A and B are shown apart, each in its own frame.
Chain A
Amino acid sequence: MSTATEIHYLEDTNLGPKAGGLYRRQNIFTGLAVGIISGFIGWLVSHALLQSSNWGTDMVVTVTMASWVIGFNAGMGTFNAPFRWLRGKDQTHEDELYAAGVSQGGWRYWKYCTDHKVVGTQYLVFVMALFGVGGALAMMIRTQLITPHSTFLDPETYNAIVTIHGMTMIIATIIMVSGPFANFIMPIMIGAKDMAFPRLNAMSFWVIFSAVPPLMATFFLGGVDAGWTTYAPLSVQAPAAMDAFAICIITFVVSVTVAGINTVVTIMTMRAKGMTMGRLPIFVWASMVGGALGLYAMPAFLLDMSMMITDRATGTSFFVNQVGGNGWLWENVFWIMGHPEVYVILIPGVGAILEICSTFARKPVFAYKVAIAGFVGIASLSIMVWAHHMFTTGWAPLLAGPFMVTTELISIPTGIIFLVIVGTLWKGSIWTRLPMYFAYLFLWNFIIGGVTGIYLSDVPADQYFHGDMFVTAHFHYTLLGGAMIGATAGVCYWFNKMTGRMLDEKIGKVAFWFIAIGIQVTYFGQFWEGFQGMPRRVAYYDPIFLHANQMSTAGAYVLMLGWLIFLYAMIHSWRNGEIAPPNPWHARTLEWLIPTPVPLENFLVDPVVTEDPYGYGDTPPPGQLAPFAEPEPEREPELVPVGADASASDGGSH
């Protein structure tokens, strides 16, 4: 019996008319409708009962936004399963298949769908939309700064835009790799049929989706003018928009926590037979370390924002010095979250870069175990460095030295990771396709972002640089030039597997050059501003900073153009691109050994892994092309149908 006749695609399953239960009637429109109604009821009730209290407006905004979040998720179907569990009416297998998107076509992308590939795609589009919003706000900031006393924005609006640009980008960058790739690609890489908790996976997406409207609502509630770090007491004194901001963050924390748990559990418990920890693709390790670090960081964010809300809406005194609170408390708890969060963003992006470098250099990841130790080292040290953000605040001066040392120590594992990337490329037969372009750009930016970070970890140097544009340039080199370019390389690499189409490389390369040049011009301009002493977050500035600002703004427009071209390349390719073969890069990790588009549950038979993922050059798999050859369709891997004896794979009966 041939393998082909045995294959039964779950997508073709005919479900009963009642399969899915309530899920059948739920989608993004019911979510929006229930969310808006719930928010309105929350506003109505809180306005009637709480408006007259001392903190009426803050209470009303808090209740309204929380009601929106709960209502939206109820309308989407987030709470269906818990309440069915409560009633003792568990979902049937057909319900689960429906929830996984069976027989729903493209409509499943607008629903609470549990298929990890749908969730990954939803994340990809959502992240792009967030970058669009954050990028537009960034362009407004740079346009304001093109002249010293521009009237494009008033100072209050400018500050509000700076805050929301920052937080939008932080949210987007935290999920830009862990959302699309750790959802879509990672389970396939380890040979799993799905994430460990598919419903929680869908929940993590729709919860974070519901967090964004409160963030955008801040513009209509007076704006948050405290910067993305929302230091107390600025945030305590901010308009009611701060309450919506805090609800956004608390909701975001729930999503990231759930996603982090799901990622770690999936990797630890769902690996295919033979997929030992030593055979895990490096991207999987990076996703696990990033997910685990997120679990460490997020509770601090939750605590800080919860205390902030109670300070504002119930009159507690956590952060107000005059009544027993302390502003340093906010900073301490915030940065206990804040610095690990940088690595939650960065590490998965680095993992993607290593994956790409190995594939296109046709070499194993250099010093694989050292790379893993580097990830773990970065994560471990990152929880011991938070006070370097507070060197100039006057908090615990005696601790400045120890925190300077721990911060500088972190450059050791970071440097090791850099060397691992270089070592992987070293003397490789490099096949320079679009993902490699971005990998090179990542290396360039990463070294600049890293080295300038050492200046900021140094107490005397930080006394000068703190709070000026040097810091802004540093973290943009790290997060945009490093992590975001890593994610972009990931898009170029996995786009074909996710969409079934090849990304247009010609347009992509045009975009690449605009992006590469735009980053250097924009952020070198900001380094220049910083060296001159220009403070961050100011709408007006002294004319001595004019040329540096003009340089930075010009670079920003080039950068914007680059991202727009890249966006066009994605949309154009998604709609009209060349049909992708299963393994266009001739890579060896599992996601490339299954068909494109990937079927539901990924593997038609459960895979058994027998080699490490990076055995390039030793014994190329049958049909593997030489590194420099143009790609051509690779033959399908030999698979044996479910239930068959391995020995019968060569045509034996079943």
Chain B
Amino acid sequence: MAMTDIEHDDHGDSHGDDHAGGHHETPESRDQKERMALWLLIAGDGLFLVLEIFVWFYLRALNTNGGWIFAKCTTAIANAQPGSSRNLCTNGLANVANSANTAITAPIPKADPTWGIIVAVLIVVAALLAWGAERASRERGGRGAIGGLGALFFVFVLASIVMQIVQFQELPFTTVDGAYASTYEFFMGSTLAHLLLVGFIAYGLWHRAQKNMYADGRYYRLRIIRIFTVWVAVSTIILVGVSALFY
């Protein structure tokens, strides 16, 4: 491979966050790289989401031992694993059965979807606010507008996190109540993990906007945040939708 001369290295961008590995880069170059990385991350996260939904429908369709909507615990189940490290029946159903011989016949109730819908609405609003902050930066570059939207963005993400935690407390079942309950709570845990990440980013956006760090055409940073927040909103809606519609 012939390597001939040169490129003139005249990027000279002096902003601190445009350096990496000791060399200078243009904002355009950083933007391109970060957006591509983000889309790859979203692709991987999207696959995780698809697999989560696969788990939901798979366990629901198989309904192994009638355990999707858990209803009973029999002696046969309690003795199914003699010598195992734990008694699956009494441990797995600690809240409903203290004895392996106890027959529980009432199915666990469906979770109220309202809380999930509230979480989804809050994160959608947060995504719209992130979008607004990006537009404000792109069009006006104003400190006040971005700072205000950034603060609201953070508040809404925080509210969605709180609501998600409240939902955990309001559930009419716990993790041990069969496959439906397990998968439902896993969906919520997954959503909470995403919301915490967005919360971290939202606080950073707000804080940095206060320091006027998104001025001078640096809206591309906000675009990255907006894209990720929109993705989290979409994935939350999908998980809430699946868990609400397919009991």
Contact = CB atoms under 8 A, between A and B. Distances in A.
A317 B175 CA distance: 8
Contacts of B59: 318, 324-326, 329
Nearest to A613: B1
A390 B27 CA distance: 49
A613 B2 CA distance: 8
Contacts of B86: 237
Interface in B36-67: 36-37, 40-41, 43-45, 47-48, 51-52, 54-55, 58-59, 62-67
Contacts, number: 261
A99 B19 CA distance: 11
A637 B3 contact: yes
A298 B51 CA distance: 12
A649 B5 contact: yes
Contact of B178 (A102, A233, A264, A323): A323
A589 B2 CA distance: 8
Question: Secondary structure of the B side of the interface?
Answer: helix
A272 B58 CA distance: 47
A324 B55 contact: no
A313 B6 CA distance: 58
A537 interface: no
B208 interface: yes
Question: Secondary structure of the A side of the interface?
Answer: loop
A615 B2 CA distance: 9
A606 interface: yes
A28 B43 CA distance: 33
Contacts of A588: 1
Interface in B100-136: none
Nearest to B209: A88
Interface stretch (A133-141, A162-170, A300-308, A492-500): A300-308
B8 A320 contact: no
A257 B48 CA distance: 12
Nearest to A294: B44
A220 B176 CA distance: 29
B81 to A, nearest CB: 7
Say which size band chain B's interface belongs to.
35 or more
A577 interface: no
A193 to B, nearest CB: 5
A608 B6 contact: yes
B37 A97 contact: no
A646 B85 contact: no
Contacts of B65: 321-324
Nearest to A199: B20
Contacts of B85: 237-239
Contact of B67 (A102, A191, A325, A610): A325
A611 B4 CA distance: 10
Contact of A323 (B2, B48, B93): B93
A640 B3 CA distance: 11
B17 to A, nearest CB: 4
Nearest to B204: A86
B182 A644 contact: no
Interface string A316-342: 111011111110110011001000000
A90 B52 CA distance: 36
B220 to A, nearest CB: 14
Contacts of A193: 21, 23
Contacts of B228: none
Nearest to A639: B5
Say which size band chain A's interface belongs to.
35 or more
Contacts of B94: 54, 315
Nearest to A195: B21
Interface in A15-44: none
Interface string A597-614: 000110001111111110
B14 to A, nearest CB: 8
B224 to A, nearest CB: 12
Nearest to A82: B200
Contact of B203 (A86, A237, A621, A641): A86
B67 A303 contact: no
A532 B209 CA distance: 70
Interface in B80-97: 80-81, 84-86, 88-89, 91-94
A608 B3 CA distance: 6
Contacts of B40: 260-261, 264-265, 295
A611 B1 contact: yes
A321 B92 CA distance: 12
Contacts of A590: 1, 3
Interface string A531-547: 00000000000000000
A600 B59 CA distance: 53
The residue among A90, A315, A605, A611 with the most chain B CB atoms within 10 A of its own CB is A315
Contacts of B88: 320, 322-323
Given A198-B20, A298-B44, A325-B182, A303 B91 contact: no
B130 to A, nearest CB: 16
Contacts of A102: 22
Interface in B167-183: 174-176, 178-183
A276 to B, nearest CB: 12
B98 interface: no
Contacts of A272: 3, 7
Nearest to A588: B1
B9 A609 contact: no
Contacts of B93: 323
B43 A324 contact: no
A324 B178 contact: yes
A311 B65 CA distance: 17
B68 interface: yes
Contacts of B33: 196-197, 265, 269-270
A146 B68 CA distance: 48
Contacts of A323: 65, 67, 70, 77, 88-89, 92-93, 176, 178-179
A191 B4 CA distance: 12
B80 to A, nearest CB: 5
Contacts of A317: 67, 92, 176, 178-179, 182
Contacts of B6: 605-608, 639-642, 644, 646
B211 interface: yes
A571 to B, nearest CB: 29
B174 to A, nearest CB: 8
A54 B91 contact: yes
Given A196-B33, A306-B186, A642-B6, 14 more contacts: A85-B208, A88-B204, A196-B37, A260-B40, A261-B41, A269-B32, A302-B48, A322-B89, A325-B179, A328-B62, A332-B58, A608-B3, A642-B8, A644-B5
Q: Which 8 A-B pairs have the closest CB atoms?
A: A324-B67, A198-B21, A324-B179, A90-B16, A606-B7, A316-B182, A194-B21, A100-B22
7 contacts: A191-B3, A198-B21, A237-B84, A315-B94, A316-B182, A324-B178, A325-B179
Interface of B: 1-10, 15-17, 19-24, 29, 32-33, 36-37, 40-41, 43-45, 47-48, 51-52, 54-55, 58-59, 62-68, 70, 77, 80-81, 84-86, 88-89, 91-94, 174-176, 178-183, 185-186, 189, 200, 203-204, 207-208, 210-211, 213
